[in-house]
Amino acid sequence: MTKTKLFSFIALIIIIPLGFYSKFYTGTASYWVNNSLGGVFYEIFWCVLIFLFFTKFKPIIIAFVVLVITCALEFTQLWKPQFLEMLRENFIIRTIIGNTFTWNDFTYYIIGSFAGFALIVLIKRMSEK
């Protein structure tokens, strides 16, 4: 396993529990953490996961593609066919595709994609040392 893949894997081991924890957090500002901050972790997760398998791709391209796809997924939350509503009853699927459209989510997707980009760049630099 290369250093790049190892560091990416370690990053995912940290990001995944943080993302899930944000869905169950019950302390101060829990509504914001549960419904908005999780979007940042969601974007970072997808950026690093894609980078784990496609280390030759430019970090900016990965972050941009993740941002575009997750923004498109946000719009699918306006669509409520029965089969999607059934899928959204499952926690994991609801976590991946979402269930409620909110314009504010785009802000967190942008922040998360930028953070994912920065993390990928950091992983690449650490791997080169």
Residue 20 has pLDDT above 90, yes or no: yes
- Confidence class of residue 129 from pLDDT cuts 50, 70 and 90? confident
The residue among 41, 109, 26 whose CA lies nearest residue 74 is 109
Q: Name the residue ranges covered by the structural domains of the chain.
A: 3-128
- 3-class SS of residue 105: helix
Q: Are 101 and 78 in contact (CB under 8 A)?
A: yes
In terms of pTM, does the model score above 0.95? no
CA diameter of the chain: 52
Query: Cβ of 79: how many Cβ atoms within 10 Å?
Result: 9
